Amino acid sequence: MFQHKKFSQDLKIFKAQYLNQEKVDQALIQQYLEDLAKVDLSQLQSDSAKIAFWVNVYNGLTNYWVIKKGIKKSMLEKPFLVMFSKVTIGGHRFSLDDIEHGVLRKNRRSLYKLCKQFSKRDPRRALMVEHLDYRIHFALNCGAKSCPAIAFYKEELLEQQLQIAEESFIEQEFLVNDAEKILACSKIFWLYKKDFDQIYVNDSQYKDYKITYLKYDFSVH
């Protein structure tokens, strides 16, 4: 099976080298892409296996695209990257949006689209998770400074790792002032409000709170 954890680890290193104007191992990147194209996605049976694989691949590909597209300072230099830049994974073409909204969010539409990510006849629907885990939003890294930090996920440790990712993100990006009834949080809670069901910004304990959203820093990090 494709070494998705190492892929994410290596691409994080490569992006740092690229941003520091150091030499990047392009041959290894190409090998990773060739291996991704041939991976047997049918081996991903459980949601834990799917989430670990796809989160690592998403984060690795984000860093790959930063290098490939020559992004220097801000992800806004290539605002449509998540929609249109694609690679082959297991015989199917995937954008970052396909991975996030199609596979990991179980085919929910993104904020800027009128329809779901995968059409009814799209064969990639067979690859979706069975249950949407809102904690993916604390694990996926879009390359910007305000995104959650990158961790490297393993199927057998996924529950603990996602819990740590959630606690870490909430500590910094979900700030509650009970005295003044003000809630200041990441725009991720606005973008994916429906995914959080009855928690965080949807929690009834905050119904009388003023919600403000922190400025999103798109600088490459």
Q: Give pLDDT tens digits for 113-152.
A: 889 999 999 999 999 999 999 999 999 999 999 999 999 9
CB-CB contact of 156 with 187 (8 Å): no
Distances (CA, A) of 2 to 144, 161, 205: 26, 20, 44
- The yes-or-no verdict on residue 155 having pLDDT over 90 is yes
pLDDT, tens only, 156-214: 999 999 999 999 999 999 999 999 999 999 999 999 999 999 999 999 999 999 999 99
Query: For residue 1, what pLDDT is reported?
Result: 83
Query: For residue 111, what pLDDT is reported?
Result: 83
CB-CB contact of 134 with 192 (8 Å): yes
pTM confidence score? 0.97
pLDDT, tens only, 28-66: 999 999 999 999 999 999 999 999 999 999 999 999 999
Of 52, 141, 38, 14, give the one whose Cα is nearest residue 92: 38
How far apart, in whole angstroms, are the C-alpha atoms of residue 153 and residue 55? 8
CB-CB contact of 92 with 102 (8 Å): no
Query: For residue 145, what pLDDT is reported?
Result: 94
Number of neighbouring beta carbons within 10 Å of residue 109: 14
How sure is the predictor about 221, in pLDDT bands with cuts at 50, 70 and 90?
confident
Distances (CA, A) of 179 to 150, 160, 209: 33, 32, 10
- The yes-or-no verdict on residue 112 having pLDDT over 90 is no
